[in-house]
Amino acid sequence: MPNLAWLALPLAAFAASRFVGLVAAYMVRFVLPGTGLLFVMTRWDATWYLMIAERGYPRHLPAGDVGTPLGFFPLYPLLIRGVEEITGIGYKASAVTVNTAAAAAAAVLVWRLARDVFDAETADRAALLFCFFPGSYALTLAYTEGIFIACSAACLLLLHHRRFWWAALAGGIGSAARPTGYVLALACAFAVFMHWRETRDWKPLPTPVLAAGGLIAFLVFLHVHTGDAFAWQRAQERGWGQHLGWSGSIPDRVIDYIASPVNELNVFVPILTAVVLVPLLWNLVRVRPPGAWLVFVGASLVPSLFSTSVAFTPRHLFSLFPLVIAAAHTVRGVAFSALLALCAGTFAFFVFVMGGTTGVTP
């Protein structure tokens, strides 16, 4: 039988961090009387995923600049519906169940990826830092980070071991979770090219297409369902003003903030997150990770930093989990303990504030 003792630490770290998150979510009832844990966990964009799970996608974009479920990818809602149909526990409880299971898998896969690329001690620190990272509030909310990171970590792990077809399958599933899922196809393309350059083995060359399979399937569905394969993009542009550009992007906001600081958390948090990104990026390059990690992080940063409406919040930084692994590889001893404590406190703060106020949006 395989030795599964290594699962203990990442699962224990995950359980401990979710307990902290649940306590913070429970405290919301003291600022919003009558609210419960499901209210906190299914706020914000979670309402759109629940709407899709319950009713499916509409056939037409709405008139005017209003939000629509067409702006959200299908993997998470499909899993929610599946759990609800099997268990009958309700859509909100199903959403939390799916997210919790995926997040636990993500913690395990991040540990395994860190161990296989670096060592077991790095993996232990990486699992702890990942689970208590400030942006891990997304694993408490009914959001797609758990599913996407699990697929991404599986994809990068399989690429590391040159199991290209399985990596492409993981990437293909992940590409159905969110618009930035295409980065997994790019990571696969890079790894396959480097393998081909070294070995002249052409067999894995088609796998990047499979790694974009979820995205391609969604575009085909939208074309059949609405007559517009890019209805999701138009929904994002109309409903949330989201497209790539300079005005309103994070670099533009940083410059504006330096010129005229604003005492508002919704402005300060993205700016601070962008500042934290700089040393994390420098450290990632310094530890010389697999090239696919750099492609994954670099390709993910473009839409995160240059979207004209979406703030670069800690959950966007959290999705760039190779940064977390690299930090765990570098920071050790007392410094790591202090960093972990700071992250845990910030994580709990974000769960409470995002669950009970509109002071900081996810």
148-163 pLDDT tens trace: 999 999 999 999 999 9
6-59 pLDDT tens trace: 899 999 999 999 999 999 999 999 888 888 899 999 999 999 999 999 999 999
99-147 pLDDT tens trace: 999 999 999 999 999 999 999 999 999 999 999 999 999 999 999 999 9
Residue 309 pLDDT greater than 80, yes or no: no
Residue 3 pLDDT greater than 90, yes or no: no
Q: Are 317 and 347 in contact (CB under 8 A)?
A: no
Higher per-residue confidence, 278 vs 3: 278
Q: Are 128 and 344 in contact (CB under 8 A)?
A: no
pLDDT score of 310: 67
3-state helix, strand, coil in the chain (%, to 5): 75, 0, 25
Q: Is the pTM of this model over 0.75?
A: yes
Q: Are 281 and 297 in contact (CB under 8 A)?
A: yes
Task: Please state, in angstroms and rounded to a whole number, the distance separating the CA atoms of residues 290 and 236.
Answer: 33
Closest-CA residue to 114 (of 68, 156, 79, 173): 156
Residue 266 pLDDT greater than 90, yes or no: no
Q: Which long-range contacts (CB under 8 A, 24 or more apart) does 50-54 make?
A: 50/77, 50/80, 50/91, 50/92, 50/95, 50/142, 52/77, 53/77, 53/78, 53/80, 53/81, 53/84, 53/91, 53/94, 53/95, 54/81, 54/91
Q: Which two tokens stand for residue 272?
A: 């601070």
Q: Which two tokens stand for residue 174?
A: 């992940």
Q: Are 122 and 328 in contact (CB under 8 A)?
A: yes
pLDDT score of 336: 98
pLDDT score of 1: 55
- Taking CA atoms, 32 is separated from 19, 40, 138, 264, 357, in Å, by 20, 10, 21, 21, 9
Q: Are 159 and 117 in contact (CB under 8 A)?
A: no
54-101 pLDDT tens trace: 999 999 998 878 889 999 999 999 999 999 999 999 999 999 999 999
202-256 pLDDT tens trace: 999 999 999 999 999 999 999 999 999 999 999 998 888 787 777 777 887 778 8
pLDDT score of 67: 87
pLDDT score of 5: 79
Q: Are 122 and 116 in contact (CB under 8 A)?
A: no
